[in-house]
Chain A
Amino acid sequence: MTDLTAARRGTSRAITYLVLAVIAVVFVLPFLWLVLASLQPGAALSAKPEWTFSTENFRAVLNVDTVYRPMLNSVVISGGTALLTVLVAVLAAYPLSRYQSRFGRSFLYIILFATGLPITAVMVPVYAMYSRINLIDSIPGTIAFMTASSLPFAAWMMKNFMDGVPISLEEAAWTDGAGWFQSLHRIVLPLMIPGLTVVFIFTFVLQWGNFFVPFILLLSPEKQPASVTIYTFFSQYGQVAYGQLAAFSILYTLPVVVFYSALSRVLGGAFSLTGAVKG
């Protein structure tokens, strides 16, 4: 290697790091307001650095109507959805992963096809159906639809995780006459705790941020999750109480951050959601 090529390598390395630095700055800029405004009393809609910080905004929003009840609703709705989804997905994944058949294959195709359908568009007929059977403004009704909408992807992930559990372990149980429920419950499930955790967290986080479905299906403010009430807060007080909106936004985003970090722990070392996504 001559000095010239070494120098050129050095330059291209420097350029690469420069571009990466610019990308990092551009990605961090929109977050700035959120963090700064939440800590500044009387914050305006700009991230002007005023070096006075206080927790006033947090104290102002930490009450039952603004934060506690909507967050509790979010926990109930996303948690209920995630639990139900894991349950139904694990049941569906067992025959799909264990038996080869034309029926199972077509079912997999249907599931993959359904993951691509725009939920926003499915929402219009579902609303009409719900208004006919009086399920509008019902939390269980909302959970049922959210479970159905997160099921296709969850079942797909679950099937892939289950494929990783060797079937040889079950064969002994089968010869002893164990049915599918016993071998699923006793042998497969204990071996795929990480997979179950990933599907649960993934569904939970996705539904925690789901705005459109509860926005359409839940009307009374006392039933709405934080994703919807934070929008109401924004349209009502966004112009005057930016600081409080920012504080609420941070409190609402916090569980997502915690869960994502937990997810990367479960999946081991580096953040490898791609692994889960790819199956």
Chain B
Amino acid sequence: MTPIAPLRPTAVRAVDPAPRRRPRYWLSRFAPLAPALLLLLIFFAGPMLWSLYTAFTNLALTGSSTVDFVGLDNFTRLAHDPSFLHSLELTLVFVVGSAVIGQNTLGLLIALLLRGRSRLARSVVTGLVIAAWAVPETIAGFCWYSFLYRTGTLNALLAHLGLAQNWLYTTPMLAVILANVWRGTAFSMLVYSAALSEVPPELTEAAAMDGASGWQRLRRITLPLIRRAIVSNLMLITLQTLAAFGLIYVMTGGGPGTASQTTPLYMYQQSFKFYQLGYGTAMALVLLAIGGLFSAVYLRLIRLED
């Protein structure tokens, strides 16, 4: 979970009176931040700096060999590792397919369709979409596993058409993408419902009087007005999808073969199954760099007020 742009007006702050004896004054003011700062240093900054170091060594979990400095070897190996490149490609497909296209579009569509609908329709649809979001990811994985399995619900429905097959084997990427759209759409829907509620209805009504079609009103008026919400949403769902692990791991385990092995799953396999911690850390750094980049772009977009 990540926050969206701050909307609530901030409280009026205490005006900084010219402080006497500055350092002590400052210390007493920011002392309550210490525990948070400490936790972030130990669990974020520390491990990340350590991984910067480890990524340049041949550290393996087995502890048999000594740790040597290997320079850029891990990264050269990454760049020439077909499995890693394949996993990056799958991650891209997964993020674009399930988040950028799937959740984003479906979330916007549901938010648009629900505008001005009856209370009952609103609560049934949002309730179901949010339920899919609220269940733990392992349970979401089981639900979709059983839905798409050879003897699953979908095949029971499709049996009459002669299309029954084990979808997890024949179309593993499509399967995990659909499951992630199902699971993640609620977030986009909530973001867009909030954004749409701030679009003044007079604007679209006036355009309708002038004879603009529904599609024109959407493209020319509504979408430009919620532009910021769209960009924020795209950043946030990309960040949430980039490192998805549990859902894919439960449904396909990255298989069959490596057909759905995205980078987080490959990183898991290398670090914790094959005990190649140095190599796994190099991959973690690549993921962190991509995540950090998106996070930084998002920060520039929301511009903290005050």
Contact = CB atoms under 8 A, between A and B. Distances in A.
Nearest to A206: B1
A277 interface: yes
Interface in A79-95: 87-89, 91-92, 94-95
A256 interface: yes
B99 to A, nearest CB: 13
B304 A88 contact: no
B147 A33 contact: yes
Interface in B179-200: 179, 182, 190-191, 193-194
A180 B47 CA distance: 32
Contacts of A144: 39, 43
Contacts of B268: 120
Interface in B24-77: 26, 28-33, 35-37, 39-40, 42-44, 46-48, 50-51, 54, 59, 61
Interface stretch (A39-47, A51-59, A61-69): A39-47
B12 interface: yes
A121 B271 CA distance: 11
Interface residues of B, number: 113
Dominant secondary structure of chain A at its interface with chain B: helix
B125 A23 contact: yes
B274 interface: no
A153 interface: yes
Interface in A187-244: 202, 205-206, 208-209, 211-212, 216, 227, 230-231, 234, 238, 242
A163 B12 CA distance: 8
Contacts of A28: 128
A247 to B, nearest CB: 12
Contact of B8 (A12, A87, A160, A245): A160
Contacts of A46: 146, 149, 151-153, 155-156
Among the interface residues B33, B288, B294, which one has the most CB atoms of the partner chain A within 10 A? B33
Nearest to A150: B1
Contact of A33 (B4, B54, B143, B236): B143
A121 B287 contact: yes
Contacts of B14: 98-100, 167, 171, 174
Among the interface residues B3, B13, B272, which one has the most CB atoms of the partner chain A within 10 A? B3
Contacts of B46: 129
A109 B299 contact: yes
A176 to B, nearest CB: 15
B202 to A, nearest CB: 19
Nearest to B193: A274
Contact of A120 (B42, B136, B245, B304): B245
B142 A116 contact: no
Interface string A11-30: 01000110110011011111
Contact of B284 (A23, A124, A164, A260): A124
A211 B295 CA distance: 23
B28 A180 contact: yes
6 contacts: A17-B121, A95-B30, A103-B30, A123-B284, A230-B139, A256-B135
List the 9 closest pairs (A to B, CB-CB), nearest first: A116-B295, A209-B136, A118-B243, A148-B43, A125-B47, A92-B36, A120-B243, A125-B51, A121-B287
